[in-house]
């Protein structure tokens, strides 16, 4: 049972990375794939900590950092939409 769940979490992680690498047209899709990767890492950490019967304080620290990462990505998305009008990477000039 535990091995099946770990395989599912590993597949979630790989799919999130594939989406992150392949879909680089919109910033929103990239941010959603990053959150999917963080969610799969959270589930893997939850399974691992419950397997070794350790305390779950590390999960709270991980959730705090993932929420901060999500809020930072959302603020970048909002500022990009306000300045450029859309979330396409082609309209965002780095110069």
pLDDT per position as a tens digit, 7-42: 888 898 999 899 888 877 888 888 889 999 999 999
CB 24 within 8 A of CB 41: no
Domain ranges of the chain: 2-84
CATH number for the segment(s) 2-84? 1.10.287.3510
> Mean pLDDT, the chain, as a whole number?
85
Q: What is the pTM of this model?
A: 0.81
CB 63 within 8 A of CB 38: no
Interhelix angle 57-84/27-51, rounded to 10 degrees, is 180
The pLDDT tens digits of the residues spanning 56-67 come to: 888 899 999 999
Q: What is the DSSP letter of 56?
A: S
């Amino acid at each position: 049972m535990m091995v099946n769940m770990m395989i599912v979490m590993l597949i979630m992680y790989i799919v999130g990375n594939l989406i992150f690498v392949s879909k680089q047209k919109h910033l929103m899709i990239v941010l959603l794939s990053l959150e999917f990767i963080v969610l799969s890492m959270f589930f893997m950490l939850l399974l691992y900590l419950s397997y070794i019967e350790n305390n779950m304080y590390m999960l709270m620290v991980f959730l705090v950092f993932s929420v901060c990462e999500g809020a930072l990505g959302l603020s970048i998305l909002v500022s990009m939409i306000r300045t450029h009008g859309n979330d396409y990477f082609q309209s965002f000039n780095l110069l």
